Amino acid sequence: MSHVTVIGAGLVGLATAFELTERGAGVTVVDPAPAGQATHFAGGMLAPVAEVQYRQEPLYPLMLDSAARYPDLVERVAAATDLPTGHRTDGTLVVAADRADATHLAELAAHQSAHEMTVERITVREARRLEPGLSPNLAGAVSIPGDHEVAPRQFAEALVDALTSRGVEFVAEKALALVRGDEGSPDAAVTAVRTESHTLPVADGDSVVLAAGLGASEIENVHAPLQLRPVYGDILIAAAPHGEELITRVVRGFVEDRPIYLIPRAEGRIAIGATSREDHRADTPLFAVRDLLRDACRVAPCLEEAGMVEWGTGARPGTPDDLPYLGREGRNLVISTGYFRHGILLTALGAAVGAEMALGADAPELIAACDPRR
C-alpha cells in the first residue's frame, strides 16, 4: 500500500488526505494546528459564477469543475463521520445598492452568461420575497441557484474526524524542510520530511503532498520557484437574537462598487466579509469592521438587530497570476497551494487531482496552467 505524507491541514490538505484514504493509501498529515489558518477565516462560498472576475478567465474552468465535484465529496465525507459538514444548497442572491451598482451587476451578469454560466435576472421585489430582510431600496438583483456554500470550520472538523477514524496519523508539528535523495538533480526524490522534532521517512515509491498554504514557501528544499504573497481578508460573525435565521442563503452585494457578502451559518449566525487587503496588516483594522458593518446593514437592514460574536483576519496565499500551484515537482512531490481567494471552492478539484498525482497519475490537461514550476 502506498503511503503519502501531506504537509498542511487546511481544507485542501485535509480533503487531499481524505481522497488518498478513499483510494486505499496510508496517510500522515503534518500540521501544528489543523484548519487554523486561512480555512478558519474563510467564507466558504462555493460560487464559481458569483466569484468570477474580469481578466481571470483561466480560473473559470477550474472553479466550475471543482464546484461540480463538491456534492460527491460532501456525500462521501458525510458517510465517514457523524459530524455536520455545513454544506448548504440554497443558492445565492447578488444585489446592487444603487444605480451605478446595478449597472455593474448587469454588466457582470452579461459576462457570466457569455461564459455559459447560469444567472437569473430577477426584480428587487422577487429578491425580497426570497429574503425579506433585504432593503427595499436596492437597485437590482440576480439569482444564481447553482452557487452554494460550505461552512469551512465544520467541514474541516468533519474531515479530521473521518481521517482519524480511518487511522490517519496527525503530526502536530511544523514542517521545516524536505530531505532530498540526490541534491544535485532537479528531479531529486524526497526521502524524508523534517519537522521541529522528527524526521519522517518517505520510502521509495511513496509521495509527499505540499499543501501548506503560505507556509509552503518557507519549507527548505522545495525546488519549484514558489512566489506566494499574503492577501488578507477580514471576517465578522454576527448572531441573530434568539437564534432565528435572518437570511437563508448567501447574499452578495455591491455597495458603491465595494463587494459585500452575507453567509448564513448554523444557529442563526451570519458571516460578513469581502475585504481583500495586501497592506501586510495581519490584525483586523477598525476601518474594515466599520465598512463591512455599514455595507452589510445597507444591503440587509435586518442585521442591525444582530449581535457581534467574533471578528478576525486570515491570510490567503496569492500567486503572481492568481492561479494556484498544483502539479508535480520532482519524482514524488506534489505541490498544492496558492489558491488565493478560491481555496474553499477549489478544494474538491485540488484534493482529487493532488491525490491522484501523489499515487502516480499524470497531471490532467485542465490544470496545465497551474504547473508550480512556471
List, run by run, the mean pLDDT of 10-residue segments along the chain (374 residues): 96 98 98 95 96 92 98 98 97 98 97 96 98 98 98 98 98 97 81 97 97 96 96 96 92 97 95 93 95 98 95 96 96 97 97 98 97 96
* Sign, Cα dihedral of 99, 277, 312, 45: positive
Rounded distance, CA 278 to CA 69, Å? 31
For residue 106, give the C-alpha cell: 448587469
91, 147 contact by CB (below 8 A): yes
340 burial level (CB within 10 Å; 0-12, 13-18, 19+): buried
Q: How far is CA 259 from CA 41, 143, 251, in A?
A: 17, 16, 11
Rounded distance, CA 7 to CA 333, Å? 11
Going from N- to C-terminal start, the domains of the chain cover 3-80+152-228+320-370, 92-145+229-317
324, 346 contact by CB (below 8 A): yes
Residue 185, pLDDT score: 79
Instruction: Decide yes or no: CATH 3.30.9.10 for domain 92-145+229-317.
Output: yes
Residue 364, pLDDT score: 97
328, 187 contact by CB (below 8 A): no
Residue 184, pLDDT score: 66
Query: Helix/strand/coil (H, E, C) string of the chain?
Result: CCEEEEECCCHHHHHHHHHHHHCCCEEEEECCCCCCCHHHHCCCEECCCCCCCCCCHHHHHHHHHHHHHHHHHHHHHHHCCCCCCCEECCCEEEEECCHHHHHHHHHHHHHHHHCCCCCEEECHHHHHHHCCCCCCCCCEEEEECCCEEECHHHHHHHHHHHHHHCCCEEECCCEEEEEECCCCCCCCCEEEEEECCCEEECCCCCEEEECCHHHHHHCECCCCCCCCEEEEEEEEEEECHHHCCCCCCEEEEEECCEEEEEEECHHHEEEEECCCECCCCCCCCHHHHHHHHHHHHHHCHHHHHCEEEEEEEEEEEECCCCCCEEEEECCCEEEEECCHHHCCCCHHHHHHHHHHHHCCCCCCHHHHHHCCCC
Paired with 175 in beta bridges are 195
31, 7 contact by CB (below 8 A): yes
Residue 182, pLDDT score: 77
Q: Identify the CATH class of 3-80+152-228+320-370.
A: alpha beta
Please, what is the Cα angle at 269 between 263 and 270, to 5 degrees? 30
36, 11 contact by CB (below 8 A): no
For residue 319, give the C-alpha cell: 500567486
Rounded distance, CA 49 to CA 188, Å? 40
Give which of 125, 89, 120 is closest to 105, Cα–Cα: 120
For residue 285, give the C-alpha cell: 483594522
Cell 491541514 belongs to: 9
Strand-strand pairing, 92-96 and 250-255: parallel
